[in-house]
Amino acid sequence: MNDERDVWVREVGTRDGLQSIATVFPTAAKLDWIRLEAAAGVPEIEVGSFVPPKLLPQMADSAEVVRGAKAIAGLRVAALVPNLRGAENAFAAGADQLNYVVSVSEAHSQANVRKSVAQALDEFAAIMEYRRNHPEYAHVRVASGLATAFGCTIAGPVDPADVVRAAERLVELGADELAVADTVGYGNPAQCRRIFAAVLDVAGDIPVGAHFHDTRGLGLANVDAALEVGVRRFDASLAGLGGCPYAPGASGNIVTEDLVFMLEAMGLRTGIDLDGLLAARELMARHLDGEPTHGAFVTAGAPKGFVAASRAA
Ligand code: ZN
């Protein structure tokens, strides 16, 4: 497998997927899954979330999962942190990257974390200050997502100017990376081109990733649109695990295997081996308790004569 990557794919099924299904995975099963995906060449995995266990019992073992995943050579171990408290715990556990989230929609921010957008940005500033005051964590990357950037289930449409304003503020505060998220699967390709072009513009040298949900079947179309304007980092979930426990059949993030197949077929090297992903998928699916899995590559396989870009000489 080639060491060079044109596109950086981050697995988020172990966080975004697992937090939205009923099955609670044992710690060992999470780590087996993480090990197989890392062996397939996935460079970064968001392995958990440092939320109070009361809220998300599925994520209660996140510190242990971070420590276990850190034993895997070459893997960037990321964790979601909803606030400073969670960030302190993730730093202490040894995560390589912390992913904070600001909801761009005022209504969603209030409903989700009981903070205004401005207060959520202040919390990010507090996390950055904590890192500054703790030189032992200076090497840990701190990123922020911009949730509900393409629309919100409470407020409906979200003004792209609000997305850009929040991105600008996160850049000012020193974010190492941004991820623009279509949290509820409202986005379309035309919207993606506009919003990503605008955010890339204010981000300068800071990498900007895309986080899509396939709720309305536009996930990979949105990836193509984001690629067109220069985005080279994507979140995805193995077997599209996720959705919503209250909406049976609703799909989660875009499917990692399908995303990797599309990118490799387009000549973009991900450094990820599709057979390795399918092996990880099989192991992961064994632990599911009736939750649906998604994806087309797993059923159809590769087209005749297909050569993955990462395998081409
Ligand atoms: Zn998500």
- 3-23 per-position pLDDT tens digit: 689 999 999 999 999 998 889
pLDDT of residue 22: 87
Q: 2 exposed, middle or buried (CB, 10 Å; 0-12, 13-18, 19+)?
A: middle
Cα(282) to centroid(ligand 1), Å: 22
Q: 64 exposed, middle or buried (CB, 10 Å; 0-12, 13-18, 19+)?
A: middle
Cα(312) to centroid(ligand 1), Å: 32
Residue 12 to residue 288: CA distance in whole angstroms: 16
What pLDDT digit, counting tens, does each position of 297-312 carry? 999 999 999 999 999 8
Task: State yes or no: pLDDT of 106 exceeds 50.
Answer: yes
Task: State yes or no: pLDDT of 121 exceeds 50.
Answer: yes
Task: State yes or no: pLDDT of 227 exceeds 70.
Answer: yes
Q: 43 pLDDT band (50/70/90 cuts)?
A: very high
Cα(212) to centroid(ligand 1), Å: 7
Task: State yes or no: pLDDT of 48 exceeds 50.
Answer: yes
Cα(16) to centroid(ligand 1), Å: 5
Residue 131 to residue 231: CA distance in whole angstroms: 27
Dihedral angle sign, alpha carbons of residues 127, 129, 132, 135: negative
What residues does each domain of the chain span? 8-311
Cα(188) to centroid(ligand 1), Å: 16
Cα(184) to centroid(ligand 1), Å: 8
Mean pLDDT throughout 140-161? Answer: 96
Residue 124 to residue 102: CA distance in whole angstroms: 8
Cα(52) to centroid(ligand 1), Å: 18
**pTM for this predicted structure:** 0.96
pLDDT of residue 4: 86
Active site residues: 244
Q: 121 exposed, middle or buried (CB, 10 Å; 0-12, 13-18, 19+)?
A: buried
Residue 135 to residue 138: CA distance in whole angstroms: 5
Q: Regarding the domain delimited by 8-311, which CATH topology (the fold level of the hierarchy) does it fall under?
A: TIM Barrel (3.20.20)
Q: 242 pLDDT band (50/70/90 cuts)?
A: confident
Mean pLDDT of the chain: 95
pLDDT of residue 248: 59
Q: 247 pLDDT band (50/70/90 cuts)?
A: low
Structure tokens at 209: 């990733």
What pLDDT digit, counting tens, does each position of 156-212 carry? 999 999 999 999 999 999 999 999 999 999 999 999 999 999 999 999 999 999 999
What pLDDT digit, counting tens, does each position of 68-100 carry? 999 999 999 999 999 999 999 999 999 999 999
pLDDT of residue 1: 47
194 contact partners, CB below 8 Å, separation of at least 6: 160
What pLDDT digit, counting tens, does each position of 275-304 carry? 999 999 999 999 998 888 999 999 999 999
Residue 18 to residue 48: CA distance in whole angstroms: 9
Eight-class DSSP state of 151: -
